[in-house]
Amino acid sequence: MRVIVQPLWLPKLGNRPEQYEDACWPRRRLCREAQLCRFAIADGATESAFSGLWARMLVRAFVRGKLGAPDETLVLARLQREWLRQVTRTELPWYLEEKVYRGAFSSLTGLTLACDASGLTEGVWSATAVGDSCLFQISDGRLALAWPIDRSDLFGSRPVLVASVSIGNVKLGEHVKSISGNWRTGDEFYLMTDAIGSWFIREVEGGRAAADLAREVDSIGGQASFEKWVAGLHESRKLRNDDITLLRIRVD
């Protein structure tokens, strides 16, 4: 299969790029022939510190196939130790010591695409999610999947996220969601963090055709036109001010 991926991301209005706390892979446009590809998106929680780092670590671990594997608990423990090592390299003031103790939190939604044995034009996909970062599949111009959230009123509650400290993950297992399905050539997948994901669902709920929405998102060229498009959504008050990340994945 051939996948073409366009990542688009922006820190929230008023923030500098280094304050951006979402993460995704790939970070640059990608065009690849492969039997199996993994993509992921994560949204570091704003109320915790060092959550952007934690989000990047989770995304990296997922695309390397480390999360979702049988030894996942051990992998998570290793990631947590690494996060702690990195954030405590220098002496911290009292408030950051306390923030580090309480841990960083992030959502994670990962997508795996694989060819089936019969050929290169069809295949299977599977996804794993914790939290409110969204996956959409558009097939034949129809919205085939909105997951793990499919209603705009379900955003805004406080979802369970993956914590960088073990005490925060005591009940994590109950909140890991998985799903799988099939893809065909021409299908498009979108991974979106919550602000842009909730806009997408609201538009669908408002009666817009998924194909029309997909055309709008697909017509965004690169980063510069993405910034302009997002500014327009802010102006029309359709988008909450937040870090925004969108991965557009087309299977050819």
Partner 1 sequence: MAYTAEISRANPSCFLFLIDQSGSMQDVVDPANIQPMAHPLVVDGRNYTHTAQGRTKAQGVCEAINRLLYDIVLRCSKETGIYDYFEIGVVGYGGAGVRPAFGGVLASRDLVTISEIGNNPIRIEQRKKKEDDGAGGIFERTVKFPVWLDPTASGGTPMCEALARARSILSGWLPQHPNCFPPVVIHISDGESTDGEPLEAMRSLTSLSSNDGNVLLFNLHISGNPNAKPISFPDSPVGLPDQYARTMFEGASMLTSLMRTIAQQHGFNLSDGAKGFVLNADMVLVVQALDIGTRAANMADR
Using an 8 Å Cβ cutoff, are 122 and 116 in contact?
A: yes
Q: According to the binding rule CB under 8 A, does residue 99 interact with partner 1?
A: yes
Cβ closer to partner 1: 58 or 213?
Answer: 58
Q: How far, in Å, CA of 20 to CA of 42, rounded? A: 11
In 3D, which of 187, 195, 201 has the Cα closest to residue 249?
Answer: 187
| From 11-19, 118-126, 152-160, 178-186, span contacting partner 1 (CB under 8 A) | 11-19
Number of residues that bind partner 1 (CB under 8 A): 23
Cα(125)–Cα(28) distance, integer angstroms: 22
Shorter beta-carbon distance to partner 1: residue 45 or 210: 45
Per CB under 8 A, does 93 bind partner 1?
yes
Which one among 12, 66, 175, 202 touches partner 1, defined by CB under 8 A?
Answer: 12
The CA-CA-CA angle for residues 148, 165, 190, to 5°, reads: 25
Question: CA nearest 214: which of 142, 107, 109, 161?
Answer: 142
- Figure out which of the listed residues 9, 50, 62, 105 binds partner 1, where binding follows CB under 8 A: 50
Nearer to partner 1, 182 or 241 (CB): 241
Identified binder of partner 1 from the candidate list 27, 225, 241, 252, rule CB under 8 A: 241
d(CA 170, CA 163) in angstroms, rounded, equals: 9
CA 196 vs. chain centroid, Å, equals 11
Given the DSSP bridges, would you call strands 30-33 and 188-192 parallel, antiparallel or unpaired?
unpaired
Binding positions for partner 1, 122-141, rule CB under 8 A: none
| 103 or 123: CB nearest partner 1 | 103
Enumerate residues 166-225 that contact partner 1 by CB under 8 A: 167-168, 170-171
Structure tokens at 23: 């993460």
Interface residues with partner 1 (CB under 8 A) are 12-15, 18-19, 46-47, 49-50, 87, 93-99, 167-168, 170-171, 241
